[in-house]
Structure 1
Amino acid sequence: MMATPVMSWPELKADARAYLASTRTAVDRALDAFLACKRPVGRPGPPVAGSAALLDALRAFLNGPGKRVRPLFCHVGWRAVTDVAPDVRLTDVGVGLELLHGHALVHDDVVDRSVLRRGRETVHVACADLRGGDSWYGLSAAVFLGDLAALWAEEQFQCLYEPDIPTAAREHLGAMRAELLSGQLLDVAEASQPFGTVTEALAVIHAKTVAYTVRGPLLIGAAMAGARPGTVEALSAYARPLGEAFQLQDDLEDVITGADNPDGGEDLREGKRTLVVALAAQSATSGQRATMGRLLGKADMSQAEMAKLRSTIADTGAVQQVQAMVATRRREAIAKAQDGPFTDSGRALLITMADLALPGVADWPEVTA
């Protein structure tokens, strides 16, 4: 089995944004190379009919457009600790994080019965199409393909078990994976209220986004560089508000996209109890709650009904509340980056990552809840 080619990271430059763009390109190339090595294998003879097409569906999904924020945070974690050039094994870890993310998304879409993700067919839908729209076949194939992505991720994480890598790196990986699964369970657990609660929504955010998207990758990279406890604590303090803001902005986009994104609204069709939904329910009139109850979770919601649900949620003031929360948390994360015991280059990268993870928020007008 071919391994991911060893690749060096780009040289550190004064322009943090350009440096991160170059780093993302390095991750993309490494992921491309890894996926290109994966072919149907097994006993001698031709591949089992259909297996190549299934793997192609998974590869297309994994190699699709993405921000690559987890590999970038892992890289920035290293840079926050030292100015020594990053270990080339960060490439493998970054690819592993993307594969783990793909595993989580494939299974998440199965659980949520999602037809689209960011306007593209989900893996189980693409697999169903291979057999004339057989949904059970698609779901079954997606479960195994998600498992395969997790197995591939584990291949890439093997470098963390090499003797010269601090044990803390794999401990952070283990904690991150455990929190991800805990968040998935919380996400499907029955809500205590019809529209969920703020406490429950934040618990899911902390497990699925703060720990898995920001803190875990940061701490893995920092541990690989030999981070001391004070730096670990400072990175965790930065990760908390930024991870919250990252998920809140994502939840918000599902509510406010409207006509510019007719394929949006997946969370509303799935009936997810996001923070914006919980806040809307808190302030809603009886009529607004009735509208939310009638439309939230309606899989075949028309565009007119989607517009009605979105406007109802916005009229409660929940959108403005969440916008204020996102902006406040972005400022808090930047302050933590400025005050933390980081290298100068690491500090610049942490600040820049706040804007890359939260595109456009820096330009929002001042919003108050």
Structure 2
Amino acid sequence: MVGHPSTSEFICQKLINKFVSDEISLPTYHSRTAPNELLLLMDQAIEAWHSTKPAGDIDKIMRVILDPKKQESAFWQDIGYRGKIKTPVEYINSSIRALDADVTDTKLPDYNSDLGMELFVRDDPDGYSEIGADWMDTSTLLERMTFAQTVASNADKYVEWDAETLFSERGPDTLVRYHVPTNGALNLDWTRVDFNDAKWSASGTSVGYDTNADYTDFIDLDVQTGMHQKRTSVYIRLPFLVDDPGQFDYLRLDMRYDDGFVAYLNGVRVAAANAPETLAWDSNAAEGHSDSEAREYQAFSLSNHIKRLKKGKNILAIHGLNVSSTSSDFLIQPRLRGGLGGGESIVNYFDRLLFQKSLTAEQRGILLDFVNSNAIGRP
């Protein structure tokens, strides 16, 4: 079988489609209507196939296709430069490798399916297509963009990579300061960078209490004495340093909370959950947040507030809210993360992973508008 002309033609065409260009097929090869560079490369690959005993030495054929000494070969010419669109599995795997991401669930096959490539269910014996057009339509193009935006933004908790953590949920490097207010004298002064919090109590990076010990693993400082059956509000200040605010293209606050909160970045309100319409020093949460939900981080995009970051010291201030003073538990545990992952960065990332031919200025503008208009709720 390996010596049959149809075998060599079929496999050599597959190899050229995979590594060089989509612009040749068996019909265009037989009719000699494919580009001349590809016709020549196909002839040379087939000749290499039949030059060994037994025929079909793939190593030798690939040396012909990729030979760096033959710069006139199609692989090294414009027709072979960035001329391929990756299959879904190549696209996804290259993304994961590029980011050195940690995958902790079985999400990748689902992403493959969304991009049109169902794994392990192909009935045809000729394998998956290497032709880019077979993987690209309106639906799968949008799915590719969604995948790129989700992964680059670190928005999938099962596919995570090391963005810069500005303020982590645990660690001795930074300490929050907290205060249980007894009146409204501080107004919102306590949310600003220059507020003097030296007299406030210091803890790790999380505040709370639990009469049933369900949150023990999450709480650095137990405030049961100051809050249980007394207060429903606590003020928390979390300092962090930024060397270069311009390095951040997305900013995300991850929160474990029971029952609500309002967050301020350098004195400006940036996020909230279960907060009352009118916030006061002694406010309580507008509704409860179940223990099972409170155990999971909920992401809040702060990307629209990146301009609030300053070089040097910054403050994330959180007004923690319990649903009632008699509640059996309370938790505020923040994690602030920032990095590249939105806007122009998404376009650059998407351009590299999807389009091997560079986008025009007009195309980049359209893609950037699309990314920005669909970034609501994403970091």
TM-score, length of structure 2 as denominator length: 0.22
Which of structures 1 and 2 has the bigger CA Rg? 2
TM-score, length of structure 1 as denominator length: 0.23
